[in-house]
Amino acid sequence: MHFNKHIFFCTNQKDNNKKCCAQAGAAEMFTYAKEKVASEDLTLDEQVRVSKAGCLGRCAEGPCVVIYPEGIWYTYKDEDDVDEIIEKHLKEDEIVTRLLID
């Protein structure tokens, strides 16, 4: 495997004002997470990769991210939630149960 963890942020924008991750600030949260992961040296030795994704198909539960290789889905509201996902899941391999999407 190329990366130990790979987190995908849905940044999809839907037409006709339908609920989507883009309306919830997903692009800004993607940028925030990418910068935070880099600043904490989690990208060294290909440990963690932060990527944008198109529609991940969970619009009603979003905004959402999915982390592989585990296939764990999270929602988030703000930078504090993203920080918790980075700290607990990406760094400590602990699932953040309060942010899980079933």
Q: What is the CATH number of the domain that holds 46?
A: 3.40.30.10
The per-residue pLDDT for 1 is 58
Note the pTM of the prediction, 2 decimals: 0.92
Structural domain count, the chain: 1
DSSP one-letter code for 69:
T
- pLDDT tens for residues 6-32? 999 999 988 887 888 998 899 999 999
66 close to 44: Cβ distance less than 8 angstroms: no
Q: Which domain does 26 fall in, by range?
A: 5-99
Which residues fall within 8 angstroms of residue 70, CB to CB, at 6 or more apart? none
Report the alpha-carbon distance of residue 91 to residue 57 in Å, rounded.
26
The per-residue pLDDT for 2 is 79
CA atoms within 13 A on the CB side of 34: 11
The per-residue pLDDT for 42 is 82
Which residues is 26 bridged to in the sheet?
A: none
Mean pLDDT by 10 residues, the chain (102 residues): 89 85 93 94 84 90 94 97 96 96 89
